[in-house]
Amino acid sequence: MSSIIYPTTNFKATRTLTIERGEGAYVYDSEGNQYLEALAGLWCTSLGYNNRELVDTASEQMSKLSFSHMFGGKTHQVGMDLGVKLSEMVPVENAKVFFGSSGSDANDTHIKLLRYYFNAIGKPEKYKIIARERSYHGVTVAAASLTGLPPNHTHFDLPFGALGVLRTDAPHYFRGALAGESESQFVDRITNNLEQLILKEGPDTIAAFIAEPITGASGVIVPPEGYYEKVQAILNKYGILFWADEVITGFGRTGNDFGCTTMGIEKPAMMTFAKQLSSAYMPISASVIRGDMYDAMVDQSSSVGVFGHGYTYSGHPVACAVALKTLEIYERDNMFARAAVLGEYMQKRLGEFLEHPLVGEIRGKGMIAAVEMVANKQTGEAFNGGAVGAFAQQACQNHGMITRAVAGSSLAFCPPLIVTEAQIDEMIEKFSKALDDTYKFVK
């Protein structure tokens, strides 16, 4: 019997798989079976497994300074270097960076930074946050309240009311369009809904709009052309900040430096990062805000006496060293340009499955994608529940590939950015077998 309460797991239905080691784009179980990691762990192991440079960096930093905090003026060079590097990379004006350990805590930090900032500029009533249906922003009480997926709310009594989370449409045309509605009509309708929501609540009460440029855990939703342009115009009109949750899309995943670049999102006021920031060799996250927001907070902090927010592991030196090395490798090895080229190849190869009788939609950009299986190819009718997705996920595993079913019956693809074209072919071949197995299962 296990003594572990497993995270994000069906306690009754799930069989365990003991993963023992990893090498490049592969992991191996305790019986020595090899699996192609088609989800880069949890969308995070961009540089694959057993990268010696990252291992050596961690080991050297551990020997030199295994821990030091950043409270009350303490700092260390590797943390400062990472802060500079990150602030130079991101599209946020005069970016300032706060470090944490996970995507969820980074989003929690942002909720607090928003409150601190709007209190500082004398607008304490401007605290609500607009988040979308079918979004994933993490699982702490606050981050789960932003998340727009029922399993993260049901039986947890979430969303937490006092947070003031407002919900707007998911930009998923395939599932969200009305009969006969074109893509541009869909965009007009849902962005109009957003504007009506803002007017109903009062723009002066709304601090920010949070979005994953392309979603991950909710099924890799790529919004239609023109969506973000319209969203940004509305937010600018009403003085609401754009907050890009790039926990998955950051650092080359979508074929550009950031998902914002890929999706034409201009100058977000805030961004959140984790996962690929360190290629998941160490837990680290970053909450980034515009410089002028920080400046306002500085004045407030001097009157309050202290900015009362910080984690023990904010700026953990080993995590900072590994993240800094990861960013250097991305740059040195042109990883983002490589991801663009390989991503195009991956999307083209996955596109071949559109003919398959089980496939309703294929979504993605760069090195992230999802294939949605449907009960009726003609009508696009969805499967009820998660049984088909779970079967397909297991079928992939049986054929030596690890991926995850997301949003019920979609399978996600997000391999390490270091994969080769031959490994993408291998992924396609394994998926093809798993899809055929799944088709037999549902017939």
Among positions 164, 216, 268, 415, the unique one binding ligand PLP when judged by CB under 6 A? 216
Would you say 4 or 178 has its CB closer to ligand PLP?
4
When the beta carbons of 359 and 411 are compared against ligand PLP, the nearer one is 411
Q: How far is the CB of 216 from ligand PLP (least distance, A)?
A: 4
**Binding residue for ligand PLP (CB under 6 A) from 22, 100, 103, 317?**
103
159 preceded by cis ω (within 30°)?
Answer: yes
Interface residue with ligand PLP among 120, 198, 217, 382 (CB under 6 A) is: 217
**Which backbone phi and psi does 90 adopt, to 5 degrees?**
-80, 155
247 binds ligand PLP (CB under 6 A): yes
Do residues 342 and 419 touch, judged by C-beta distance below 8 A? yes
**Residue with CB nearest ligand PLP?**
103
Nearest of 287, 326, 331, 283 to residue 309 by alpha carbon: 287
Task: Indicate the pairing of strand 401-402 with strand 34-37.
Answer: parallel
CB 230 within 8 A of CB 265: no
Residue 356 to residue 372: CA distance in whole angstroms: 11
Query: Quick check: 260 and 288 in contact, CB under 8 A?
Result: no
Q: Which of 70, 235, 248, 382 binds ligand PLP (CB under 6 A)?
A: 248
Binding to ligand PLP by residue 245, rule CB under 6 A? yes
User: Alpha helices, DSSP H only, in 352-410?
Assistant: 387-398
In the list 102, 145, 347, 403, the residue contacting ligand PLP (rule: CB under 6 A) is: 102
Q: Tell me phi and psi for residue 228, to 5 degrees.
A: -70, -30
Question: Using alpha carbons only, what angle is made at residue 291 by residues 287 and 293, rounded to the nearest 5 degrees?
Answer: 80
Residue 221 in contact with ligand PLP, rule: CB under 6 A: no
Binding mask 36-75 for ligand PLP (x = CB under 6 A): ------x---------------------------------
Please choose, out of 32-40, 160-168, 181-189, 212-220, the segment that lies near ligand PLP by the rule CB under 6 A: 212-220
| Residues at the contact surface with ligand PLP, assessed by CB under 6 A | 42, 102-104, 107, 136-138, 212, 216-217, 245, 247-248, 274
